Amino acid sequence: KSDRVRFFGNARVDSVGPLREAYDAVVLACGASGSRKLGIPGENLGGVYSAREFVGWYNAEPEMPVLDIAGSSQCVIIGQGNVALDCARLYLGDPQELSTTDVNASFLAMLETMPATRDCTVVGRRGATQAAFTIKELRELATLCRTEVLAEELEAGRTAASLRELKESRAKSRKQKLLESFPVPFRLQSTASLRFLLSPIEFKPRASDPTALGSVVFERCRLEGEAFE
């Protein structure tokens, strides 16, 4: 506890003007208020959900609906930030282990309907060096389940600019070394696959149900330009 910190909850802020008059700095750290669309065909198919919806559901946000993933054994997550790895870790998690946490009860009930062994693919447009997730989140996922990468995708992302980024950033270098050491000892038999240099271009419907997601089509990306700052 500190007398330098005060918390005000259930407060409505209509304007930052009065706050700017009372404080030297105002930081708006309210998180994402809505879902971001990819703008590709098939995005409205059943089974395609935003991270905002998925995270809101397992965190028991009151206005978030229960998502229908009953019986699911495979999922694709588009994006490679910490939220993406959190989503993968929760999807692949053991409902008994998660029952000791504050995860939404309806999410745990849905996990109970799924096969014990599940697969999750986490896809990003850039290379492994540019992936936004931190080594902490990566290590938590890797010790939960078998985590795989493709050697050819790591190699394809090893451009001169990427090597410069690794040389100039200890955090990126440590993360790269962990990726190259996979798989490391893990607890569950489920698998997380980290894929790089792929961009989604279409969600295709299921042959047996044209309203439901059947597969995702990706195109190969290539790194160009200077080192990422």
- Report the chain (229 residues): mean pLDDT per 10 consecutive residues: 83 87 86 77 94 91 86 94 95 93 92 93 95 95 93 93 93 94 89 96 96 96 80
Map residue 103 onto helix, strand or coil: coil
Q: Are 145 and 216 in contact (CB under 8 A)?
A: no
pLDDT for 229 equals: 63
Q: What tokens appear for 150 in the block? A: 């493709």
Q: Say how many residues make up the chain.
A: 229
Task: Residue 33: name the closest of 8, 64, 5, 58 by CA.
Answer: 64
Q: What tokens appear for 2 in the block? A: 């500190």
pLDDT for 119 equals: 96
Chain centre distance of CA 63: 21
Instruction: Give me the residues paired with residue 76 across strands.
Output: 121
Is the CA virtual torsion 76, 80, 84, 90 positive or negative?
positive
pLDDT for 209 equals: 94
Q: How many CB atoms lie within 10 A of CB 220?
A: 9
pLDDT for 8 equals: 85
pLDDT for 74 equals: 94
Cis, bond preceding 65 (omega within 30 deg of 0): no
d(CA 144, CA 47): 25
Task: Residue 145: name the closest of 97, 177, 112, 101 by CA.
Answer: 97
- This prediction has a pTM of 0.83
Strands 209-220 and 198-206: antiparallel
Which residues fall within 8 angstroms of residue 76, CB to CB, at 6 or more apart?
120, 121, 123, 216
pLDDT for 9 equals: 83
